Chain A
Amino acid sequence: MLHPQTAFVRGGAETHTEGLVRALRGAGHEADLVQIAGKWYPPSQLAHQMAVWRSFDITESNGLEVDAVIGLKFPAYLAQHERKIVWLIHQHRTAYELWDHPDYADLKRQDDGAKVRDMVWEADRVALGEAKRVFTNAKNVRDRLWASLRIPAEPLYHPSHVAEELLDSTAGPLGGFVLFPSRMESLKRQSLAIDAMRHVSTGVRLVLVGRGPDEPKLREQVERLGLGGRVSFEIGVSDERLLQLYREALGVYFGPFDEDYGYVTIEGFAASRPVVTLSDSGGPLEFVLDDETGLVRPPQPTAIAEAFDRLWNDRAGAERMGAAGNELVRAEVPRWPEIIARLLD
């Protein structure tokens, strides 16, 4: 398993990687995680990381031949190996669909951004093109890859360990808060959810779970809007606490901008909770079907508030959607033994 690790950053990529290593070992394979510290700015540093991974020899280790390598994330999958499998969680997005985005573009604003973008495209074209198999973690990621580089890929969902635990346990009664677990950064749009809380007309509360660079700004926003009694923060919670929060929530909210896949959706459904998402949230829309497994709303505070109020006022409907979501996840998201078999097929 090849992984570019940014120090002090923990998110879906790390969960995915660790889950895969565990599953490979569980299936009887000798698997190890090879990490190289990564940093994606300034752009020349990105070029450096790309060259490091591309020139990295992983054909054997300590005299033992390496049978296969699996890369999930840019630029780790640039490494060369006879049997390279890519399970893409996303491309380097600011070189692709976020290049021009008014809020999330960063590469474009750098002096050498355009040159690095070209390098990223060329590197992806070669490295993904030479891979023996290319999977993506969601249809959304597959579609982006096809739209940009015209490289076909096969979507392959997977559960997080939290989702697995929830699937293996019984759902409790619905509580009184909407749970929003995610890294606190602009793409996840916690700010929009906080704004929405100004417009709710019921007693519903919002619990933000995670950590990240936006935390101080979000706390300041809650303070400024006088929402301290309705919005609370839980920073760096343990898995046990996260499981408890899922099990006690009224519903789950997950409204990032064009998310790749999104564990939160799967975990919410695994806990039999309805999931509220937004019409531009990307990956979650592969599971959240409006009024069937959750609620899909436009990215506007009032619309989100209306969805939160609806869960509060229509508990039976919330329960129904949560149960439907749970069934959908069980049907659509394979468990690890099946995933390993497909990956190494």
Chain B
Amino acid sequence: MQAARGLRRRLRGGTAGVEVQHGRGPGSQGDVVFAGPLPSAPTGIATYDRAVLDGLGRIGFAGRMDVVWPVRTQDAGRFPGYHLGVFQLGNNVEFHLEIYRAAYLTSALVVLHDLALDDFVRGLKAAGDPLGYMAAREAARLRGTIGDPDVVRNEPLREPWCAHVVRRARGVIVHSEFGRRYLQSFGCRTPVFVVPHPVIEAPEAFERSKPRARELRSSVGEPSFLVVAPGDMNEAKQLGALVRAAARLGDDVHIAIVGRCIEGYDVEPMIEAAGMGARITVHADVPDADFLAWLGAADAVVDLRFPHRGEVSGSLNRAMQAGKPSVVSATGTYLDVPDDAVLRIAPGEADSEELAHTLRRLRDDDNLRARVGAGAAAHIEHQQVSEATAHGYERAITQTLALVRDPARKAMAIWGKSLVDAGITERMVAEGFGMEYARALGSFEPGSEVAAARENFERSS
């Protein structure tokens, strides 16, 4: 019982409206289970999940949903009892291994935080998990099927590491139209829902952080132009290009690199080698309040990606919410941000001259800065006010649940599995094998005559 109690946490209205019962036995559980990191897990997905659940609570999501975190090996037996699982999948084995396994046991609506699950799948293989080999095999089989130059440019996306889990799922949530195009480019037939990344911060959060923002700005010498590069510090952020760009900008420009240190990557030597120690500072693993304050203190934000893994940047969303003009790479999910809300530089390896030129424009043009910042804030505010994420989740859950419960699809699944067991290949299906059955099922889809007849029947009886 203690274990069952530990399995679920209660998320209350206000901070979260989705109410989760403690220790309910089998049979009394909700229809849907939500499995993903929650605060205080040290991953951006934890704050994301909290924001999603809060949003569902605010819009009065009517489904009975249990939230499970952490997900442990011994919890596996509980998942198949749910009609549907919402599984948050990222590229980190530490946080997502058991979630990934659970997604195989349950009718799953998977949420892809990274389109490239390369590190994750390698981690699965390293752990000797058969699912890792299955995912790798499927990815290898599909290698070369994607022709989109924006994908081909980004090595982690070339091999669709997510293909296996996506094919098994009953629905997929991605955060951008790029994500949908990517999945469809390698033949994904699972329904895809594009749901915008949630707005993490409350509208007043940046107002509250202003005093701290002033302190931080002062701590780096009150530069006339402060550029912040937020988020995980890794190769893909193109921080080297940013360091080189800084060298091309005047002494009045200060660069603050703020975020989580990622093992195996160190930006400090690059800064020292460029002799930029005074004008570029690194603020590693700062508290969340400081992270927010740095964004508030910034005059401009730089959030580049190469290679791109198809993720949507939570840091960029926060910067935009703060009304900061951001410079991003013209690639993947960044192309889905409205044109008036960011400035873009060419995709691929960032060109430090182009980046410096863009930052110079922002430094020198108050109107441009104000216009792009206002566009960014308006875009996020619209998402916040319209509860776009919560409604998107609600739609995805409701539609996938209907799909899972659809008796015709259940019957089709039995039939499809039987065909596979009998050795029928996709090519044979294309030639018509087993299609009579599918056509028969399709013919039972009720037309308007049935609705009218039933209404008449119910009235008369």
The yes or no verdict on A and B being binding partners is yes
Cα of A153 to Cα of B453 in the assembled complex, Å: 17
Chain B: interface residue total (CB-CB under 8 A): 28
Instruction: Decide if A122 touches B405 in the complex (CB within 8 Å).
Output: no
**B445 contact set on A, CB distance < 8 A:** 119, 122
The CA of A118 and the CA of B446, in the complex, are separated in Å by 6
A328→B176 CA distance, assembly (Å): 75
Q: How many A residues touch B, CB cutoff 8 Å? A: 31
A119 in contact with B440 given A47-B408, A148-B453 (CB within 8 Å): no
Shortest CB distance A110–B (Å) = 9
B275 interface residue per 8 A CB criterion: no
Interface residues in A40-70 (C-beta closer than 8 Å to B): 43-48, 50-52, 54-55, 57
Asked if B265 CB lies within 8 Å of chain A CBs, one says: no
Q: In the assembled complex, which residues on chain B have CB atoms less than 8 Å from the CB atom of A54?
A: 440-441, 443-444
B406 close to A112 (CB less than 8 A): yes
Q: Mark A143-159, 1 if CB is under 8 A from B, else 0.
A: 00001111000000000
**Are A125 and B453 in contact, CB atoms less than 8 angstroms apart?**
yes
Once the chains are docked, how many angstroms separate the CA of A46 from the CA of B408?
9
A269 within 8 A of B: no
A147 contacts across to B, CB distance below 8 A: 457, 460-461
Contacts of B457 in A (CB 8 A): 96, 147-148
Residues of A within 8 A of B439 (CB): 55
Assess whether A225 is interfacial by the CB under 8 Å rule.
Answer: no
Near B by CB (< 8 A), chain A positions 104-160 give 111-112, 115-116, 118-123, 125-126, 147-150
A50 with B440: CB separation less than 8 A? yes
On whether A119 and B460 interact (CB within 8 A), knowing A48-B415, A148-B453, the answer reads: no
CB distance from A256 to the nearest CB of B (A): 19
B39 located at the interface, meaning its Cβ lies under 8 Å from any Cβ of chain A in the complex: no
B residues in contact with A121, CB < 8 Å: 446, 450, 453-454
A97 is an interface residue with CB less than 8 A from chain B: yes
Q: How far is the CB of A282 from chain B (nearest CB, A)?
A: 14
Would you call A51 and B411 a contact (CB within 8 A)?
Answer: yes
**Cβ 8 A contact of A123, one of B414, B438, B444:** B444
- Choice from B441, B446, B454, B460 contacting A51 with Cβ under 8 Å: B441
Cβ distance A253 to chain B, nearest Cβ, rounded Å: 27
Interface of B is mostly: helix
Check if B453 sits within 8 Å of A44, measured CB to CB: no
Q: Given contacts A96-B457, A115-B407, is CB(A48)–CB(B446) below 8 Å?
A: no
A46 in complex: contacting residue of B407, B414, B436, B450, CB < 8 Å: B407
Contact A119 B453 (CB under 8 A): no
Asked whether B410 is an interface residue with its Cβ less than 8 Å from the other chain, the reply is yes
| Interface: B449 (CB within 8 A) | yes
A125 touches B450 (CB 8 A): yes
Chain A residues, CB < 8 A from B449: 125
Contact of B407 among A44, A78, A148 (CB under 8 A): A44
Nearest CB on B from A112, distance (A):
4
Q: How far is the CA of A43 from the CA of B439 in the complex (A)?
A: 19
Binding site for A on B (CB under 8 A): 83, 405-408, 410-411, 414-415, 436-441, 443-447, 449-450, 453-454, 456-457, 460-461
Instruction: Knowing that A45-B411, A46-B407 touch, tell me 13 more A-B residue pairs with CB under 8 angstroms.
Output: A44-B407, A44-B410, A50-B441, A51-B411, A54-B443, A115-B407, A118-B446, A121-B446, A121-B450, A122-B443, A126-B443, A148-B453, A150-B453
Question: Which residues of chain A have a CB within 8 Å of any CB of chain B?
Answer: 43-48, 50-52, 54-55, 57, 78, 96-97, 111-112, 115-116, 118-123, 125-126, 147-150
A to B CB contacts below 8 Å, 28 in the list: A44-B407, A44-B411, A47-B411, A47-B444, A50-B440, A51-B415, A51-B438, A51-B441, A54-B441, A55-B437, A57-B436, A112-B406, A112-B410, A118-B450, A118-B454, A119-B446, A120-B444, A121-B450, A122-B444, A122-B446, A122-B447, A123-B443, A125-B449, A125-B453, A148-B454, A148-B457, A150-B453, A150-B456
For the complex of A and B, the 3 pairs showing the least CB-CB separation, nearest first, are: A54-B440, A44-B410, A55-B436
